[in-house]
Amino acid sequence: MSAGVPALRLEDITCRFAARDGGGAYTAVANTSLTIAAGEFVSVVGPTGCGKSTLLNVAAGLLAPSQGSVSVFGQPLIAADGVNRRAGYMFQADALMPWRTGIDNVVAGLEFRGVPRAEALAQGEAWLRRVGLAGFGDRYPHQMSGGMRKRLALAQTLILSPDILLMDEPFSALDVQTRQLMENELLALWAEDRKSVLFITHDLEEAIALSDRVVVLSAGPATRPIGDFKVDLPRPRDVSEIRMTPGFLALHREIWAAMKEEVLKAYAAQKAA
Amino acid sequence: MRLRTLQILVVCLVVAFWYVMTAPGLIPPFYFDKANRAAFFFGEPQKVFWVIVEWFATGEIFGHLGVTLLETALGFLIGSVFGLAIGLWLALSPTASAVMDPYIKGFNSMPRVVLAPIFAVWFGLGIWSKVALGVTLVFFVVFFNVYQGVREVSPNLIANARMLGASRRQLLRSIYLPSAMSWVFASLHNAVGLAFVGAVVGEYLGSSRGVGYLILQAEGTFDINTVFAGILVLTAFALALDAAVGSVERRLMTWQPRASETEKV
Ligand SMILES: Nc1ncnc2c1ncn2[C@@H]1O[C@H](COP(=O)(O)OP(=O)(O)OP(=O)(O)O)[C@@H](O)[C@H]1O
Ligand SMILES: [Mg+2]
């Protein structure tokens, strides 16, 4: 798995945001390198505001880093030339088209690719069933709950079967039961064709339960990875059962020890600001 | 229901007041020196009523209303299409927008009604000079709304569509256009109202058909009752137009959340 070209490689990425009205520039991410092998499931955890979404935007080709380079399956990715076409991105914020019904949102990507309408709709209905939204296809986003919208966004991204999946806290709006269902569903989908996944979360347990590797980011500003933990728990996993195993608990303790200090630091910094 | 009763009462009172003040010889003249002067200046409600009845009975009014409606519709459609196209273009092209900015502002601040005589010279006294006036009025309302609408599309929505593989053209069709359209619909009442104003003012300033022409002609012969009749017909017509726009709007904007949507059980 580690042999061959990595699916995604971020090299020495620095992102500095120009300051508005006078203040100093803000360095969100500094000198960060991250490699995701083909077929690997990597989670990134870090305190709020540390720059996780920023890093993902760089990987998606939506944001040009101030410094550093990105390559996708060996090809350099240049944001000015367009987005990362091998990747699907599930955004943290709502990004559904409010004027399209559920099903029309799900098939949007197929439509952009010129797939015939009837075929797109058939696939779309299948995906709605998979994310538990069968029968809700004719609702508009504003008629759905936050969790339903998240699942709709998941279907919208996965229907295109991207080689790389970028997910920004996709399940944080869901209740515990639905969340575990969706996590298991994601793992099942991932096991089918081994996409490369870069998964961002606040939730360390979720990160360990899902991933092959967990990367811990430091608190901002100038965020960088401060820990990289291999998760060699057996697969296939069931996310609710694996949380009880001794291997999981040991990893959790180890990673939490590394994270705790950063979380407190971030909290103190935001309280002071 | 009570509210309706009160509203009708207000109309009755106004009409009664109008009648009492203008009916020749009903009360002694206290401002004018002759008994029938008030009627000359302010008309008489019952005569206004009969003018309207006659218009509809003989069918004379329908041709004029039809012309006014046609001018309104054309002014609205052409103005909207131009507003939409140029709004999209300027919103998506920063250079063009920077270049055009002072001219757009200038044209917008110009009182465009003064263009009516020029349009009459350019397009003649037929419907097109009225349509042109309507277009200049509608254009800016739609233009500014589209411009604003496109500028305020959520960056997230654009990023998502790009990640889903939308080309620039598809982005225009499935993100910018729907988003701009929702702003156009928000200004629909305004735009239709202005197209109507353009049509009537245009007719008033020189025409051979239309409700504005009826008023113009009646003024020429000091027939104040017909002037009031024309004004009343125009008002009723504007209200009907506004209601029609409202129902179109409701049909087209189902995707937008409304303030409260739960049903009473
Ligand atoms: N466009 C921008 N301009 C200026 N500062 C920005 C911009 N985008 C993000 N930032 C700053 O960069 C930092 C990182 O933001 P980012 O959204 O990546 O955080 P995050 O790790 O995803 O947080 P969360 O877990 O709360 O989603 C924040 O301090 C934020 O204020
Ligand atoms: Mg984020």
What does the pLDDT read at residue A7? 93
Residue ID of nearest Cα to ligand 1 atom 12: A28
Residue B4 lies in a domain: no
Please give the mean pLDDT across all residues of chain A.
Answer: 90
What does the pLDDT read at residue B261? 66
Residue B258 lies in a domain: no
Cis peptide before A221 (omega within 30 of 0): yes
Which protein residues are within 6 Å of ligand 1, measured from CB? A 17, 26, 28, 46, 48-54, 92, 220
| CATH number for the domain harbouring residue B213 | 1.10.3720.10
Residue B171 lies in a domain: yes
Is 90 exceeded by the pLDDT of residue A160? yes
Residues of chain B contacting residue A99, judged by C-beta atoms under 8 Å apart: 178-179, 182, 255
What does the pLDDT read at residue A230? 93
What does the pLDDT read at residue B72? 92
Is 70 exceeded by the pLDDT of residue B204? yes
Is 60 exceeded by the pLDDT of residue A241? yes
Is 80 exceeded by the pLDDT of residue A37? yes
Is A60's CB within 8 Å of B166's CB? Answer: no
Measured distance CA(A150)–CA(A179) in Å, rounded: 11
Higher pLDDT, residue A219 or A60: A60
pLDDT interval class at A159 (50, 70, 90) = very high
Maximum alpha-carbon separation in chain A = 56
What does the pLDDT read at residue B131? 93
User: How much is the average pLDDT of B81-96?
Assistant: 90
- How is residue A171 written in tokens? 């399940």
Is 90 exceeded by the pLDDT of residue A136? yes
Residue B184 lies in a domain: yes
Distance from CA of B133 to the nearest CA of A (A): 33
pLDDT interval class at A3 (50, 70, 90) = low
Please give the mean pLDDT across all residues of chain B.
Answer: 88
Given CB atoms, is B168 within the 8 Å cutoff of chain A?
no
Percentage helix, strand, coil, to 5, in chain A?
40, 25, 40
Is B164's CB within 8 Å of A108's CB? Answer: yes
Number of separate domains in chain B: 1
Most confident option among A159-173, B108-122, B239-253: A159-173
**Residue pLDDT, tens place only, A193-208:** 889 999 999 889 999 9
| Ligand 1 mutation target, pool A13, A50, A204, most atoms within 8 A of CB | A50
User: How much is the average pLDDT of A211-227?
Assistant: 89
Residue B18 lies in a domain: no
Nearest-Cα residue of chain B relative to residue A166: B163
> Which residues does residue A76 pair with via DSSP β-bridges, in sequence order?
A71
Whole-number percent of chain B with pLDDT over 90: 37
What does the pLDDT read at residue A2? 46
Distance B143 CA to ligand 1 centre (A): 34
Residue B53 lies in a domain: no
Is A83's CB within 8 Å of B162's CB? Answer: yes
What does the pLDDT read at residue A205? 92
Is A108's CB within 8 Å of B163's CB? Answer: no
- How is residue A143 written in tokens? 């008629």
Give the ligand with the smallest distance to the CA of A223.
1
Residue B34 lies in a domain: no
**Residue pLDDT, tens place only, B141-160:** 999 889 888 888 889 999 99
| Ligand 1 mutation target, pool A13, A53, A172, most atoms within 8 A of CB | A53
Is 50 exceeded by the pLDDT of residue A244? yes
Distance B202 CA to ligand 1 centre (A): 56
Is 50 exceeded by the pLDDT of residue B216? yes
**A140 → closest Cβ in B159, B178, B255:** B255
Q: Can you list the domains of chain A with their CATH numbers?
A: 8-86+163-272 (3.40.50.300), 95-161 (no CATH)
Measured distance CA(A261)–CA(A61) in Å, rounded: 31
The answer to whether B193 touches B238, Cβ cutoff 8 Å, is yes
Higher pLDDT, residue A99 or A174: A99
Residue B208 lies in a domain: yes
pLDDT interval class at A56 (50, 70, 90) = very high
- How is residue B197 written in tokens? 């104003």
pLDDT interval class at A22 (50, 70, 90) = low
Residues of chain B contacting residue A90, judged by C-beta atoms under 8 Å apart: none
Q: Which of A125, A80, A82, A91 is nearest to A200 (CA)?
A: A91
**Residue pLDDT, tens place only, B9-22:** 999 999 999 988 88
Dihedral of the alpha carbons of A103, A106, A107, A113, in degrees to the nearest 10: 170
pTM: 0.81
> Could you tell me the residue range of the domain that residue B97 belongs to?
60-252
- Residues of chain A in Cβ contact (below 8 Å) with chain B: 57, 60, 62, 82-85, 87-89, 91, 93-101, 108-109, 111-113, 140, 142-143, 156-157, 160
Is 70 exceeded by the pLDDT of residue B202? yes
What does the pLDDT read at residue A33? 93
Is A95's CB within 8 Å of B157's CB? Answer: yes
Pick from A2-16, A103-117, A239-253: least confident: A2-16
Residues of chain B contacting residue A83, judged by C-beta atoms under 8 Å apart: 162-163
Whole-number percent of chain A with pLDDT over 70: 98
Is 80 exceeded by the pLDDT of residue B257? no
The answer to whether A75 touches A68, Cβ cutoff 8 Å, is no
Pick from A15-29, A131-145, A152-166, A179-193: least confident: A15-29
